[in-house]
Amino acid sequence: MTGTATRTGRHRAPRRARWVWPTVLALVVAVVVALVGTGGTYALWNGAASTTASTVKSGTATIRVGALTAMNTAVLAPGTGVTGTFTVANTGTVPLSMRVSTTATTVAYATSASSATVLGDETLKLSVVATAADCRAGLSGASARVATFDTGSGYYTLPVGASGIGCVELDLDADAPQSVAGAVTDFTLTVTGTQVAS
């Protein structure tokens, strides 16, 4: 008789290595995020070059202003005015936009009028003229009360090396009250030159 041998018992299947995918995926994401977060170039080649040397020279904005002449001895009556001139020269290396404004006023010797009353009855005018002889009352130009006079920026442009003559006229209103009689007004004009943008 023939027979077949039978085996009984348990056996184990061979073990296989298992990858834990969530851990590997998290590691890859962390490396990518770390690389994205850093700046710089990740190129295989990199290069740099320099330009040749250059020189930049700044300009100067300077002016010379002469004294205001021929106004100190005049006596004003209502409805009359007095004129005077001053010179300004551009001694810098850039063209200048000119501005003239009153920066100080003082009233003295008024008998009964307040300083505000005296200044409120005086008008200052400014014109640019070719010669001092051309300065006379009634010229057109900038005009305002003496205490608030301001031509604003860009009243006129003064080229490099050029000079100009300002004609100043101070008028007392025709209806000025008797109380301003004997008042003396001192005022300071400031001339400002600002570089013209090119």
CATH assignment at residue 136: 2.60.40
Domain annotation covers residue 58: no
**pTM score, whole prediction:** 0.70
- The CA-atom distances, in angstroms, between 163 and each of 5, 22, 166, 184 are 130, 84, 10, 31
Give the pLDDT confidence score for residue 1 in this predicted structure: 45
DSSP-derived secondary structure letter, 193: E
For residue 141, what is the enclosing H or E element?
none
Instruction: For residues 76-84, give the mean pLDDT.
Output: 92
Domain annotation covers residue 137: yes
Q: Give dist(CA 195, CA 97) in Å, integer.
A: 6
Q: Give dist(CA 183, CA 121) in Å, integer.
A: 11
Domain annotation covers residue 73: yes
User: How many domains, the chain?
Assistant: 1
Q: Give dist(CA 5, CA 7) in Å, integer.
A: 7
Domain annotation covers residue 171: yes
Domain annotation covers residue 22: no
Q: What is the pLDDT of residues 16-44, one digit of tens each?
A: 655 555 555 555 555 555 555 555 555 56
Share of the chain above pLDDT 90, in %: 56
Domain that holds residue 189: 63-195
Give the pLDDT confidence score for residue 2 in this predicted structure: 46
Q: Give dist(CA 87, CA 126) in Å, integer.
A: 12
